[in-house]
Amino acid sequence: MKIMSDIKVTKVGIVGIGFIGSDHLHRLTKTIANVDVTAVCDIVPGKAQKELDRQGLKAKDYHDYHDLVNDPDVDVVVCTASNEAHYEIVMAALKAGKFCFCEKPLALDANQCMDIVKEEQKHGRRMLQVGFMRHYAPEYVQMKKMIDDGTIGHPLMMDERHYNQTQPEEYDSSRSIIETAIHEIDLDHWLLNDDYKDIQVFGVRKSKYVQNDQIQDPMIVMMNTKGGVNIYLEVYVRCQYGYDIKCDVIGEKGVLELPTVPQVATRLNAEYSTAILTDWKARFESAYDIEFRDFINHVSQDESPVGPSAWDGYIAAVTADAALQSLAHDGEKVDLDFPERPAFYVEK
């Protein structure tokens, strides 16, 4: 007797095969069930094919994302290209009527994000998810639940750190905000169930490891929420020693502390030590896995994705635009005001 399976294989095309594109390619072919990566694309000739070969995979290799987006063998577009290419790739995917997963930031600024929001709404249902994977990290999910439960009373302050070991030489202040701090910008109001009231961004003494004058590194981001919570975030993208993410939520009765990834501690030669990770791949591995499982589960059934939305991408971009404005004006406080979340983007 032949057993019929109703499990549908989702045909995915990935645009941008750099650091995270390669990682998601591996994830979608080796970790997430019922996915066929039918096509890849990178603007640099040969780059995507080299990665396919390295991972022992076969897929169509395009150099122009339009060809991938319009390929009938691609049902879902995953955009892992550089920030400046997100807008055009996402718009093309939406215009072609395809579900789309776009890495953060959704686009370069709030205007571009609003265009995407409007394009998505033409479909009458959500078609897009943004790669704010921390919403899926079990430790942040637990923190949110404890904040909602009132475990520490009302949150009063947040104390955060977003340190990268290093970044490419051309990394500038704008990227520190729209590519690095954007994670906390997106995450904190979600954790707190609150909206931002204002933001301030300023530099401190520069690290000697900063080679260009286009970046302020480290920089301090401060936000106040409408509910009166003060958020303090250090962004330091060339800290040299490792990848270090801190998130303390200080409440009326206690403190919630984000755990670091479990590492075996060593007691040896009169020393007690634990390793610190060096990049986001290992630090948020389970979050990326859960995120893609959820996204694929929905779109494979022709259902809208339910993870971070284009509206979340837009809210983050409005905040990031204000952050850049503050940095350009020596850390002046910039007020924030957001339009009401449209019904289209309210969770059902």
Ligand X SMILES: O=C1[C@@H](O)[C@H](O)[C@@H](O)[C@H](O)[C@H]1O
Ligand Y SMILES: NC(=O)C1=CN([C@@H]2O[C@H](COP(=O)(O)OP(=O)(O)OC[C@H]3O[C@@H](n4cnc5c(N)ncnc54)[C@H](O)[C@@H]3O)[C@@H](O)[C@H]2O)C=CC1
Task: Give me the sign of the Cα torsion angle 231, 235, 241, 245.
Answer: positive
Nearest approach, Cβ of residue 162 and ligand X (Å): 6
Residue from 22, 164, 216, 326 binding ligand X (CB under 6 A): 164
What is the size of the binding site for ligand X (CB under 6 A)?
Answer: 6
Question: Applying CB under 6 A, does 22 fall inside the site for ligand X?
Answer: no
Nearer to ligand Y, 56 or 168 (CB): 168
Q: Which stretch binds ligand Y (CB under 6 A): 10-18, 113-121, 137-145, 236-244?
A: 10-18
Nearest approach, Cβ of residue 236 and ligand X (Å): 10
Question: In whole angstroms, what is the distance from residue 127 CA to residue 120 CA?
Answer: 6
What DSSP string runs through 299-325? HTTT----SS-HHHHHHHHHHHHHHHH
DSSP-assigned letter for residue 73: T
DSSP-assigned letter for residue 45: T
Nearest approach, Cβ of residue 150 and ligand X (Å): 30
Question: Applying CB under 6 A, does 291 fall inside the site for ligand Y?
Answer: no
Contact by Cβ (8 Å): 263, 275? yes
Residue from 32, 41, 143, 152 binding ligand Y (CB under 6 A): 41
Residue from 180, 216, 225, 309 binding ligand X (CB under 6 A): 180
Question: Binding to ligand X (CB under 6 A): which residues in 258-317?
Answer: 280
Nearer to ligand X, 163 or 314 (CB): 163
Q: Which of 185, 200, 137, 177 is nearest to 312 (CA)?
A: 185
Question: In whole angstroms, what is the distance from residue 217 CA to residue 212 CA?
Answer: 10
- Out of ligand Y, ligand X, none, what residue 164 binds, judged by CB under 5 to 8 A for its kind, is ligand X
Identify the H or E element spanning 344: none
Nearest approach, Cβ of residue 255 and ligand Y (Å): 26
Nearer to ligand Y, 61 or 179 (CB): 179
Question: Applying CB under 6 A, does 20 fall inside the site for ligand Y?
Answer: yes
Question: Applying CB under 6 A, does 236 fall inside the site for ligand X?
Answer: no
- Out of ligand Y, ligand X, none, what residue 180 binds, judged by CB under 5 to 8 A for its kind, is ligand X
- Out of ligand X, ligand Y, none, what residue 147 binds, judged by CB under 5 to 8 A for its kind, is none
Question: In whole angstroms, what is the distance from residue 301 CA to residue 164 CA?
Answer: 37
Nearer to ligand X, 174 or 297 (CB): 174
Q: Which of 94, 82, 79 is nearest to 39 (CA)?
A: 79
Tell me the CA distances in angstroms from 40 to 24, 170, 171, 214, one per residue in order: 11, 26, 26, 33
Question: Binding to ligand Y (CB under 6 A): which residues in 43-82?
Answer: 43-44, 47, 65, 80-82
Q: CA torsion 175→177→181→182, rounded to 10°?
A: -90
Nearer to ligand Y, 84 or 303 (CB): 84
Q: Which of 2, 64, 35, 86 is nearest to 317 (CA)?
A: 86
Question: Applying CB under 6 A, does 15 fall inside the site for ligand Y?
Answer: yes
Contact by Cβ (8 Å): 185, 257? no
- Out of ligand Y, ligand X, none, what residue 251 binds, judged by CB under 5 to 8 A for its kind, is none
Q: Which residue in the shown chain puts its C-beta closest to ligand X?
A: 180
Reduced to 3 states (helix: H, G, I; strand: E, B; else coil), residue 287 is helix
Nearer to ligand Y, 57 or 146 (CB): 57
Question: In whole angstroms, what is the distance from residue 34 CA to residue 59 CA?
Answer: 16
Point out which residues bind ligand Y (CB under 6 A): 15-21, 41-44, 47, 65, 80-83, 85, 103-104, 131, 133, 179, 280, 284
Chain contacts with ligand X (rule: CB under 6 A): 164, 179-180, 183, 237, 280
